[in-house]
Amino acid sequence: MNLCATMVKSLLLRRHQLTSQILTWLNYSNSYASTNLKKRAPGHTLHPFVCSKRVVVKAGNGGNGCIAFRRVFCNPHCGPSGGDGGNGAHVIFKAVKNVCDLSNVTTIVNGDNGMNGLMDNCHGASADHLYLHVPVGTQIYSVGKRCVGNQISNDNSNNENSSTNLVRTLRKEGDIFLAARGGAGGKGNAFMTHATLATDSMRLPSRKNTPLRIAERGGEGQLCEYILRMSKLADLGFVGCPNAGKSTLLRSLTRARPKVAPYPFTTLQPHIGILNLPENRVNSSSASKVSGRAHSIAIADLPGLIDGAAEYNKGLGIEFLSLIADCSTLAYVIDYGTLWYNYGVNRLNDIENELVNQLSMLYYEVTTYDANLGNQDKCIVLGSKLDLIFPYNKINTDNTDVNNSNSKDVELLQTLHRILYKAACSVGVINDSPESVDQVILISAKRGDNIPHLISKLWNCVQNLEEDEKD
């Protein structure tokens, strides 16, 4: 007997030790994961980018009223006590700044139903409203019968008599739109009895409340169909030829991680990154500080454009250009380093001609799709891959000594900047004025050359756009 008791104690002790070791290992794993894993950026998505979606929303139904009677031992005829049903949930679209696309919105959305009424005059609980977060600038089109007003073509509808009507644009963060209204809760027999008493008291010989075995059904929630479309893809969009360094630049400015590879058409869908700025960032154009909450800039890495994209839809050009049209500011990214590597210092005229050809092609494709995209005040030109031209010295034009570079590097940098500026002015991307000199920036996304200067320029552009919208 003592031997059996000893064996049982040893087994229990061993089990306790193993359990303690497992719990210790799990706690260590959780603490290691929480301290070492990097949080995912708001613009980083593992799903395909969605800029438009057709959604069917169904609000919640109201709860049914209850038929019940109060039971008291001294009075078996106390009267009705059925409570009212709860209201159904509304379906509401809400504009949120950190939402980059419409992939989080499902195709069919159902709101919760309200609870039924209970006995003893207990009302059913109303369902919580369902908020669907959409990007700022989302346009909401209702799908229904053909009507007069703002109409767009409805390619997804099989009904020839159906059309779409623009009902709301969520322009600011926090704007909401009631997509479907939930059904009202039904009244219980307690309410129905009191209502009957109030209406029939003049006709009844006695004012005694007559019990009723009637209760209301809950109202049905609305069923609506909408088309959601993003009217503002990002604050800044990168426009350039394939393999120009747009994805590398997005990785340098934000925490987005698009694929980077040394071959064209690596990017086949837009990637959105969020550039967060501190609360008190000094504006380079003025000495005043920007106070208030932290600001952010949404940057879109768009697929490359080729010749014939707007007219012949080469390289999915129409789809890509439709995304470019949604951006507030365009940045033309030119592969300056590869041109320098191919031609060299002795063929600056050939480099200038190639720059003019690339900018002319990009500007023509963009303006052919939409003439409003040719606004010179909303465009900047970026000469990328500066590390191929200056492989040993990091260039930063914010410093007066250019990071202790020699005079030849400074002179060459000024020459390259002047060539790119001249090419951009000749094409018509920017104005030929002293104020537009800052719209041309030479950068190296891989090494970080002139990235702080670029961030300051982007912040100035976005701030000017916000002031124009307020005016």
CATH (residue range 236-470) = 3.40.50.300
Range from 1-15, 367-381, 384-398, 417-431 carrying the lowest mean pLDDT: 1-15
Residue 248, pLDDT > 70, answer yes
Per the model's pLDDT, the better-predicted residue between 26 and 354 turns out to be 354
DSSP assignment string, 70-139: --BTTBTT--B-PPPPPPPPPEEEEE-TT--SSTTS-SEEEPPPPPPPBTTTBPPPPPPPEEEEE-TTEE
Span 282-294, pLDDT tens digits: 444 433 333 334 4
Comparing 291-305, 318-332, 394-408, which segment has the lowest mean pLDDT?
Answer: 394-408
DSSP string, 21-61: HHHHHHHHHHHHHHHHSPPPPTT--SS---SEEEEEEEPPP
Which residues contact residue 166 at a Cβ distance below 8 angstroms, ignoring those fewer than 6 apart?
139, 140, 141, 149, 150, 152
Q: Is the pLDDT of residue 320 over 90?
A: no
Q: What is the pLDDT of residue 152?
A: 39
**Closest alpha carbon to 247 in 323, 181, 299, 178:** 299
Q: Which of 460, 471, 401, 403 is nearest to 436 (CA)?
A: 460
Which has the minimum average pLDDT: 13-27, 211-225, 299-313, 322-336?
13-27
pLDDT at 172: 87
Contact 230, 138 (CB under 8 A): yes
CATH of 52-230, one of 1.10.150.110, 2.60.40.10, 3.20.170.30, 2.70.210.12: 2.70.210.12
Q: Tell me how far apart the alpha carbons of residues 379 and 459 are, in angstroms, rounded to a whole number.
A: 13
Which residue ranges make up each domain of the chain? 52-230, 236-470
Tens-place pLDDT, residues 149-192: 333 344 444 444 457 789 999 988 899 999 999 999 998 888 87
73-111 residue pLDDT tens:
776 667 788 888 999 999 999 999 888 888 889 999 999
Distance between first and last Cα of the chain: 93
Report residue 348 CA to chain centroid gap: 42
Angle made by CA atoms 321, 323, 326, in degrees to the nearest 5 = 115
Residue 198's pLDDT band, with cuts at 50, 70 and 90, is: low
- Enumerate residues 6+ apart whose C-beta is below 8 A from 433: none
Find how far residue 370's CA is from the centre of its chain: 23
Q: Once rounded to an integer, what is the mean pLDDT over residues 64-70?
A: 86
The yes-or-no verdict on residue 6 having pLDDT over 60 is yes
Q: Say what the pTM is.
A: 0.66
The better pLDDT of the pair 243, 393 is held by 243
> 17: pLDDT confidence band, cut at 50, 70 and 90?
low
Segment 101-128 shows an average pLDDT of 90
